[in-house]
Amino acid sequence: MPTPTLIQLIQSFTSAILISTATLLGAAEITLTWNDNSDNETGFAIERKTDSSSYSEIATVDANSSSYIDSEINDTDTFYYCLLYTSDAADE
């Protein structure tokens, strides 16, 4: 079974979130997991890029989530991920 060339995890600019593991489920799926250390998020935005693209949002998940399955990868590109928390402006 082919596997992605490299999956590189990138910490967001906040200390609240760090993607802790990436588990390859097959040639076209990967599970990202993280520890939710924030207490005031409204959710998380997951961004992805390849060597030839810019970061773009691929999904949002609810507050207190700790994983996401990306089922739109391939075995020819390198993927980079960024996880950002979202919050209401009134909470900041």
Would you say residue 47 lies in a domain? yes
Give how many domains the chain has, as a whole number. Answer: 1
Would you say residue 2 lies in a domain? no
Please give the angle made by the CA atoms of 29, 43 and 86, to the nearest 5 degrees.
Answer: 115
pLDDT at 27: 73
Is the full-model pTM beyond 0.85?
A: no
CATH number of the domain that residue 60 is part of: 2.60.40.10
Instruction: State the Cα–Cα distance between residues 63 and 29, nearest whole angstrom.
Output: 23
Would you say residue 44 lies in a domain? yes
- pLDDT tens digits along 3-58: 444 444 444 434 345 677 777 777 788 888 888 877 888 899 999 988 888 999 99
Would you say residue 85 lies in a domain? yes
Would you say residue 69 lies in a domain? yes
Please enumerate in sequence order all residues whose Cβ is within 8 A of that of 89, keeping only pairs 6 or more positions apart, or say none: none
Half-sphere exposure of 16 (CA within 13 A, CB side): 17
Would you say residue 76 lies in a domain? yes
3-state secondary structure at position 91: helix
Would you say residue 1 lies in a domain? no
- pLDDT tens digits along 51-92: 888 999 999 999 999 999 999 888 788 888 888 888 775 544
pLDDT at 18: 63
For residue 27, the enclosing domain spans: 7-91
